Amino acid sequence: MKTRIWICLTGMSFLAVRPLSLLMAQDQPGLKHYRVIDLGTLGGSTSTGNAINNIGWVTGNSTNADGVQLATLWVDGLQLPLGTLGGPGSDVAWPVKNNFGLISGITENGRHDPLDETFSCPAFGLMSGNSCVAFAWQNGVMTQLPGLGGNNSIGAGDNNRGQIVGWAENDVYDSTCDNSAHQFLQFEATLWEQDDRDRWYVRELQPYPSDPDSAATAINDRGWAVGISGKCEVAIGATSAIHALLWHADGKPVDLGSFGGHGWNTPQAINNRGVVVGFANGPNDVVDGQLKIRWQAFVWTRERGMARLGTLPGINGKPDVMSQATDVNDKNQIVGVSYVDYEFDGARAFLYQEGKMTALNELIGSQSANWDISSTGGINDRGEIAAQANVVSSGVVTSVAHAVLLIPCDPDDAVAYGEAKQFVIPDDVQKQMRQQIKIGPLLLSALEERATH
């Protein structure tokens, strides 16, 4: 695996960091094509790469032979299950950027939730009924991070200062929670650090004024965190994300703005230059009194505020209607997913650079005979991309989906720059692909359940 990576990286240019005020298009290397490295699974049929750091560690989750989802690290050709803290499942779902072996995530704890809450756990495939808790993994040991007094917490992104962000319940019964959906306790954005004796402690990040609840999703090496604030509801998106926020190192929340939507305004990543990406609802997102999913991928800079990235051209001649950005590196290359409709159908991973969004399937050459790159996780400063791809067999996309690593290559690579192949996606596979997409369909399920109460 190392050999293949270095062959493809030969001649790759590394650009110096320049001020944020310069146009993003000026910061990009030329558009490269990619080799696709199959990272495999832990014995099951599904795995996904959700994050990648600058030394090439890919993190995410994989199912084992029993179909159980486990947080997974792929490094040096190895697949390493990170385990759990007593419950069946775990996950690494957000931008884990630490280059010194620190991984943050979520695990079920083996104890049934005392209040029968599901909290945010189903959004990450954790649905046993256990409480889910934030963890730090380092040197082969998984450690539960301290909470704020409630039963549940989520570990999200980390940085090279050893800081981890996420969110945790406190012991306050929040009137904005949806009790009929078994959510009762307030939750707040959290930042975890270690003291001089390597003991973890937690600090709360304040929500936007007048919002009762908040959550942090990612943090850069300057200690700037991003996340959301709003109402409690079911602790999964929607009006929990009325405001997209940036917390500077002083902990004060800054509103990043919106596109006029009433919720789902969610930063997913921040680079070391302070560029933020994610998704935000557009206007007209309330239909018959119900908040709908109307995601639009965005990039935010201090100089320009929040701007749409757009969507990919549609498969059937019509442009896609929905998109999300999942990560941005320090060269301002952005990765994400574009969707045909608001039901997460027709998912295609994209790379955004030089002011243009390009489907990754168009950048893998003849390997498109074997892979459909359906979603992205992260991108590092070498331009390597952690993603998920469905296996293609005889021109037909299957429901088998693996974590993959995309390695940028020079034009003399005959495979990466080979002729792209066409494929078809059967309806039954499309339905299964929706369930594999990170968070999306589970969010829909949560909303549908809430609407029935």
* pLDDT per position as a tens digit, 239-274: 999 999 999 999 999 999 999 999 999 999 999 999
Q: What pLDDT sits at residue 420? A: 75
* pLDDT > 90? residue 1: no
* pLDDT > 50? residue 18: no
pLDDT band (50, 70, 90) for residue 394: confident
Gap between the Cα atoms of 415 and 140, Å rounded: 37
Gap between the Cα atoms of 185 and 173, Å rounded: 5
Q: Among the listed ranges 36-45, 127-136, 437-446, which one has the minimum average pLDDT value? A: 437-446
**Closest residue by Cα to residue 222 from 268, 299, 161:** 161
* pLDDT > 50? residue 203: yes
Q: What is the pLDDT of residues 93-130, one digit of tens each?
A: 999 999 999 999 999 999 999 999 999 999 999 999 99
pLDDT band (50, 70, 90) for residue 29: low
pLDDT band (50, 70, 90) for residue 317: confident
pLDDT band (50, 70, 90) for residue 206: very high
Q: What is the pLDDT of residues 225-243, one digit of tens each?
A: 999 999 999 999 999 999 9
* pLDDT > 70? residue 24: no
Q: What pLDDT sits at residue 315? A: 74
* pLDDT > 80? residue 436: no
Higher pLDDT, 447 or 419: 419
* pLDDT > 90? residue 220: yes
pLDDT band (50, 70, 90) for residue 146: very high
pLDDT band (50, 70, 90) for residue 70: very high
Q: What average pLDDT does the structure give for the chain?
A: 89
pLDDT band (50, 70, 90) for residue 429: low
* pLDDT > 50? residue 60: yes
* pLDDT > 70? residue 20: no
What's the CA angle centered on 60, arms 96 and 359, to 5 degrees? 90
Span 308-324, average pLDDT: 91
pLDDT band (50, 70, 90) for residue 432: low
* pLDDT > 70? residue 438: no
* pLDDT > 80? residue 421: no
pTM above the 0.85 mark? Answer: yes
Q: Among the listed ranges 83-87, 91-95, 299-303, 364-368, which one has the minimum average pLDDT value? A: 364-368
* pLDDT > 80? residue 452: no
Q: What pLDDT sits at residue 69? A: 97
Percent of the chain with pLDDT over 70: 86
* pLDDT > 90? residue 211: yes
pLDDT band (50, 70, 90) for residue 15: very low
First to last CA, the chain: 51
* pLDDT > 90? residue 373: yes
